[in-house]
Each structure stands twice: as structure tokens, then as C-alpha cells.
Structure 1
Amino acid sequence: MAVRTQVKFYYDVLSPYAWFGFEALCRYQKPWDLDLQLRPINLGKIKKESGNISPGPCADVFKGSLFFPDVQRTSEMMELPYKPLKDFEESVFIKGSLPTQKTLAACQILYPDNMEELTRQSWLGLYSHDMDMTDKGNILQFAEAAQIPDVDKLLEFSVGNEAKQQLISNTTEALESKCFGAPWFMVTNPKTGRREKFFGQDRVEMLGWVLGKEYVGHHPSQ
């Protein structure tokens, strides 16, 4: 029996680039027989511990001049329904995503089969509908759209210590692998046993090269 390729994907819904990387890997799950394991992290903690400066428009005027058009182009290329936030600084740097990330960590424990769709609905909430990632009512909508078996149980669990510790564990695991941003993913090659690390949404083609798999663009199903 063939061994599937394990891919651990570390992400925070605050990053639009992580969304693009997530969707790219999801599209190649079946063609490349990937065992995609989603790991929500605290991106603020990652950046603080690694000393990385955010590429967002508020951190550096030169990087910022490219940020918005680059995200727009990437979303159009991948045919994802991205819409610019009305107030990027408030949504990303002030409000953040901690309650949503804790809910995703709770889902990782309680309903791992629903992780992919809850992750997707959370990103759609932020970058398609400009929804507050700290609002309980919004998170409830994400969970319902993802068809979580017991939404109330998930939300109650997400504010408990176990979900908090899971998020901390994911973040620590990422830091120990020298993660400095998102998306970050680690791949165990089933043929060689070697662990490869990748940063960025544009590394999926390189992943295919490493695994000896054919990359056929952003829409392999077409």
C-alpha cells in the first residue's frame, strides 16, 4: 500500500497569502495524494519570536506599495473571491484573529474532518466579506457554513484551556521548525523520509518538483 505524502500546513487567517497557499494545496490533495494536516497558529507570536517584520502595508512603505496590488493579482489568477478590507490596519493589526484561531484549534481536536471547510469559511469571512474575526456571531456563521456537527460544543470548547494549549502547541511546533511567517508548510517525502520546509503560497510548484509530481497550473481539475 502506497504511503501518502504528509504535509503540515501552518497558517493564520490574517494572511491572504496563506489563504492562497491553502487553496493551492487543497486543489492538489487528490492529484498528488497528499495527507494535508492543517495547523492553525498565532502569527503574531511567530513574528515576534522570529523577529520577522510584517510585509503588510503598514509596516514598510516600500513593501506596502506592492502588497495590495500583488494580493489582488494573485487572487484573480487563482480565481478566489478576494475583496480588499475597508480598514486593513484595524482588522489585521488591532483586532486580529485570535478567537477564530482558537476555534480552528478546537476543530482540530473535536472535528478534524471539518477543518478544511471551517478554515475556508473563515478566510471567506475575512477576505470576501470583511467580517470581524473576533466576533462570536461571525465565528458561529463560519462554523454553520462548514457544517460542524455541534456548533455550540465547538464554540464552548474554543474558549477553554485545551483549545488554547492546542494553538500554543501548533505555534511552538512551527517555531521549532524555524518558521518565520505564513504560509509555512513541512513535507515528509515518503520515498526518502526527508523533511522539506517551504514558505510562501508560490512554493506549491516547487513542492511538486521535490515529490516528482506534475504541476499543471492553478486549476489541476480543469
Structure 2
Amino acid sequence: MAAARASIICYYDVISPYTFMGVKLFNRFRQQWPGVDVTFKPMLLGGVMNSIGNKPLFEFVSKREHMISDLDRISAVTGVPFKFPTEFPVSTILPMRVLVALQIHESTEKYEQCIDKLFDEYFVHGRNISKPEVIQNALTPILDSDVSKVQSYMQLANQPEVKQAFKSNTDEALARGVFGAPSFIVKKAGDPENKEHLFFGSDRFEMIAAFLGLPYPGLIPKNQPKL
């Protein structure tokens, strides 16, 4: 059955600096795409890459140096604040499982606010998001200033339900051909075949917009001077 609305699924892991930038830009652009259903799915990026034999950029000195310079340029052009963290990489299993639990039990709005906040903690403020106290301090204001609620989600992160959901998301991403992050699974509205299309990377939004027939405002905000 053809979908009545276009849809975009974003597979992400908060360890990825390009995913940080991609999610920030996606959230900016999607404000002009009200007819598109959006879902953020947490996956284990390391698990995906290990499964296909891929290696992260930071393992190669020249690629790591380019990555940092490239992200700084993107930040300057787009106005998205960014600072490469001193501690990189760190384990994101705990924060990602917390996000899985939040997606299951909280509203979409609060879940997405928590994604955004954890990204900021790491790639703007340089705080080690593998640490429970950093997660607690970041998410408490979003979750009604209820410390016990955040602690309960960190406990849920170790429960079979959440572990299995996280693994299922990762397996699902692999089955859809995902090989890195950010990855976007895009469907056109009214497609009789309900076909999925994979777009990879933080620089594919112009292509996604053109594919779906949507407006593309460009990388530079209206109040941002061109370089």
C-alpha cells in the first residue's frame, strides 16, 4: 500500500561528529517540510561498521585531521556551533541505550530534545557523555527536572527490553544497507511500490529535498554572512 506521506528515518549514533552536524542541519531543514514524517532511530555505529568491515575516519591520521578541519568549515558556514571534543572517541553504549528507553517511554518531542542535548554536550561543550553524571545533568532539565526519572532511564538501559531494541535497530539498519552515520531512509509519498531510498552523509539534504520535491533553504542561514 502506498504511503500517504513522505517519510524519512534517520539512523544515528551520538559518537559521530558528522551525524551531529547532519542532525542539526536536518532539524533546521525539516521545519520547512511539514508534510514529511520523521523518525530518529538509535543504532550502534560501531556494530554496523564491524559487521561490514568498515573502519572509522579517526583511525587514519590524515583523515582525522581533515575531518576536524572540514567540520570547523561546516560550522563556520552553517552557524552550527561545534568544537571537536578532547576525549574522542568515547563509548556511547550507555547514552544510546538511554535514548532507546526514552524513545519507548517518552513523547517524541522530549526524546528528540534529549538527542539534541546529548549531541551538544559532546560536540559543543566537550563533556564525556559516556559518564552517567554527564547524562544525568544534561537530561534532567528536559525531563521535568526530575533526577529520579533520568536515573530510572539509566537503569532501564541495562534491561533486556532496551538492549534488544537497540540491537534490533542496528540489525534493521544493516538489513536496509546502512554502512555509516548519518543514514537516511527516504520514501516518497504515493509511491505504489513503497520503495526505500538510502541517502548517506550530512551533505545530502539538497539531494533529499530535490528527490522529494521539497524546498531547500541552503546551508547558510539568512542572518549568516557568507564567507
TM-score, L = length of structure 1: 0.89
The corresponding residue for 2:135 is 139
- The structure-2 alpha-carbon separation of the partners of 1:220 and 1:6, relative to structure 1 and needing over 3 Å to count, comes to farther
Distance 1:65-1:83 versus aligned 2 partners, 3 A rule: closer
Q: Is the 8 A contact 2:10 2:40 kept in 1?
A: yes
User: Does residue 153 in structure 1 map to residue 137 in structure 2?
Assistant: no
Task: Report if the CA contact (8 A) 1:8-1:37 is conserved.
Answer: yes
Question: What is residue 215 of structure 2 aligned with on the other side?
Answer: 214
* More deviation, 20-29/204-213: 20-29
Q: By how many angstroms is 1:188 displaced?
A: 1.3
- Identify unmatched segments of 5+ residues in structure 2: none
Cα RMSD, aligned residues only:
2.0
Distance 1:70 1:194, change over 3 A: same
Q: Which amino acid aligns with 1:63?
A: K
Give ranges in structure 1 of 5+ residues lacking alignment. none
Assess if the C-alpha contact under 8 Å between 1:11 and 1:182 holds in 2: yes
| 2:78–2:221 CA contact under 8 A, matched in 1 | no
Q: How much does 1:134 deviate?
A: 1.6
Contact persistence 1:97–1:134 (CA under 8 A): yes
Q: Which segment is superposed worse, 41-50 or 156-165?
A: 156-165
Cα distance in 2 for partners of 1:55, 1:145 equals: 34
Tell me, yes or no, if structure 1 residue 202 matches structure 2 residue 198.
no
How many residues get paired?
A: 214
| Distance in 2 separating the partners of 1:137 and 1:108 | 20
Q: Tell me the distance in 2 between the aligned counterparts of 1:80 and 1:24.
A: 8
Secondary structure at the aligned position of 2:39 is classed as strand
Deviation at 1:49, TM superposition (A): 0.4
Mapped partners of 2:190, 2:222: distance in 1: 25
What TM-score does the superposition give when structure 2 sets the normalisation length?
0.87
Q: Using the alignment, how far apart are the partners of 2:143 and 2:170 within structure 1?
A: 26
- Return the alpha-carbon distance in structure 2 between the equivalents of residues 76 and 156 of structure 1: 39
SS of aligned partner of 1:201: coil
Divergent runs of 4+, >4 A: 219-222
SS at match of 2:85: coil
Tell me, yes or no, if structure 1 residue 45 matches structure 2 residue 40: no
Residue 122 of structure 2, aligned match among 112, 122, 126: 126
1:194 & 1:22 partners in 2: Cα distance? 23
Q: What pairs with 1:1-222 in structure 2 (closer than 5 Å)?
A: 3-33=4-34, 34-56=36-58, 59-88=59-88, 92=89, 95-113=90-108, 114-147=110-143, 150-192=149-191, 193-218=194-219
